[in-house]
Structure 1
Amino acid sequence: MSTQTAPAPTFVRSDLVMLGGGAVATALAGVAHYAGWVGWLTFVLAAVAVGLMASIVGLAVEQLGDRFGPGATGVLQSALGNLPELFICLFALKAGLVEVVQAAIIGSILSNLLLVLGLAFVVGGLKHGSQKIDSGRARTISILLTVAVVALVLPSLTAVMHTPAAGHEKALSMIASVVLLALFALTLPASLKRDNSTGMDKMDGDESAHEAARWPVGLAVGMLAVAGVVAAFVSDWFVGALEPAMQSWGVSEAFAGLVIVAIAGNAIENVIGIQLAARNQSEYAFQIVINSPLQIALVLAPVLVILSSVLGFTALTLVFSPVLIVAVFLSVLIAALITIDGESNWIEGAALIGVYVVIAASFWWG
Structure 2
Amino acid sequence: MNKKDIFLIIAAVSVAAVTGFATRFDINSVLLFVLAAASLVMVAMIVGKATEQLGSRMGPAATGVLQSALGNLPELFVCIFALRAGLDTVVKSALIGSILGNSVLVFGMAILFGGLKNGRQYFHSEAPKMNSVLMILAFAAMAVPTLTHYLHTPAESHINMLDILVAAVLIILFICSLIFSIKGDRSIVGEEPEDEGPEEKSWSLTLTLIVLAGSGLGAAFVSEWFVDALKPAMTTLGINDVFAGLIVVAIAGNAIENLVGIQLALKNKADYAVSVIMNSSLQIALFLYPLLIILSFFLGGAVLSFVLSPLLLAAFALAVIVSAFIVFDGESIWLEGVALIGLYIIIAAAFWWG
Instruction: Give the alignment's TM-score, normalised by structure 1.
Output: 0.92
The 1:70–1:276 alpha-carbon spacing in structure 2 relative to 1, beyond 3 Å, is closer
AA partner of residue 24 (structure 1):
S
AA partner of residue 193 (structure 2):
K
- Please point out which of 82, 103, 106 is paired with 1:116: 106
Query: Match for residue 211 of structure 2?
Result: 223
Query: Match for residue 148 of structure 1?
Result: 138
The 1:112–1:276 alpha-carbon spacing in structure 2 relative to 1, beyond 3 Å, is same
Establish whether residue 75 from structure 1 lines up as the match of residue 65 from structure 2.
yes
- Please point out which of 178, 192, 197 is paired with 2:182: 192
- Please point out which of 207, 216, 226 is paired with 1:238: 226
The offset of 1:326, in angstroms, is: 0.9
Query: Match for residue 193 of structure 2?
Result: 202
Unaligned ranges ≥5, structure 1: 1-10
Describe the SS at the equivalent of 2:305: coil
The 1:74–1:199 alpha-carbon spacing in structure 2 relative to 1, beyond 3 Å, is farther
Describe the SS at the equivalent of 1:311: coil
* Cα distance per residue 1:336-365 (max 9 Å; x no partner): 112211111110001001101111111111
CA distance in 2, matches of 1:137, 1:73: 13
- Please point out which of 259, 277, 293 is paired with 1:271: 259
The offset of 1:77, in angstroms, is: 1.2
The offset of 1:200, in angstroms, is: 8.4
8 A contact 2:58–2:193 mirrored in 1: no
Structure with the largest fraction of helix: 2
The offset of 1:298, in angstroms, is: 0.7
8 A contact 1:169–1:318 mirrored in 2: no
- Please point out which of 122, 125, 143 is paired with 2:115: 125
CA distance in 1, matches of 2:60, 2:103: 22
In the TM superposition, 1:1-366 aligns within 5 A as 11-66=1-56, 71-193=61-183, 195=186, 201-203=192-194, 206-208=195-197, 211=199, 214-366=202-354
The 1:199–1:35 alpha-carbon spacing in structure 2 relative to 1, beyond 3 Å, is farther
The 1:348–1:141 alpha-carbon spacing in structure 2 relative to 1, beyond 3 Å, is same
* Cα distance per residue 1:209-231 (max 9 Å; x no partner): 7x366211111111111101111
8 A contact 2:74–2:223 mirrored in 1: yes
CA distance in 2, matches of 1:62, 1:274: 14
The 1:287–1:32 alpha-carbon spacing in structure 2 relative to 1, beyond 3 Å, is same
Q: How many residues are treated as equivalent by the alignment?
A: 353
CA distance in 2, matches of 1:286, 1:302: 23
8 A contact 1:304–1:316 mirrored in 2: yes
8 A contact 2:146–2:306 mirrored in 1: yes
CA distance in 2, matches of 1:64, 1:212: 14
* Cα distance per residue 1:290-314 (max 9 Å; x no partner): 0001000011001111111122221
Identity of paired residues, percent? Answer: 49
CA distance in 1, matches of 2:297, 2:314: 27
AA partner of residue 328 (structure 1):
F
AA partner of residue 142 (structure 2):
L
Describe the SS at the equivalent of 1:309: coil
